[in-house]
Amino acid sequence: MNNTNARLKLIEGAIADSVEEYGDYETVKLDSADAHWLVDMVREFQKENSKDKALLKWHSENLHAYMCSVCDNRFHIEEILYPTHVTCPYCGENDVCINSKDYAKLGE
């Protein structure tokens, strides 16, 4: 178990003890250092989450999605000359269909 998981387990235990002592989750007694660490962890998670959302947005705007019906793998192509006659990089199927939303974008 890494240090982050170990510390989270300790904080979880402290919260459970506090809830048992106070009777609800609205009043939780935590060590100041643990509270600051927990807030920092949440901020870091939110930062990573926003990076993931930005990357997904970039992918949806800049890549064309294909789904192979033979091997059920999805793949993306950055630039295409023709939306048909695309070969699946996983199984070699020669006529993989483009995602309908991406096909509509090509017509714009």
Select the more confidently predicted residue: 81 or 93: 93
Pick 85 or 27 by higher pLDDT.
85
Q: What is the CA radius of gyration of the chain?
A: 24
Q: What does pLDDT average to over the chain?
A: 77
Confidence check: pLDDT of 59 > 50? yes
For residues 76, 80, 86, 92, the Cα torsion angle rounded to the nearest 10 degrees is: -50
**pLDDT value at 106 more than 70:** no
3-state secondary structure of 87: coil
Strands across the sheet containing 64-67:
74-77, 64-67, 97-98
Domain assignments of the chain as residue spans, ordered by start: 3-60, 63-107
- Asked if the model's pLDDT at residue 90 lies above 80, the reply is yes
Cα 25 to Cα 30: distance, rounded to the nearest angstrom: 12
Do 30 and 18 contact (CB within 8 A), yes or no? yes
Tell me, what's the pLDDT at 1? 45
- Using CA atoms, how far residue 16 sits from 9, 11, 21, in Å, is 10, 9, 9
Query: 91 pLDDT band (50/70/90 cuts)?
Result: very high
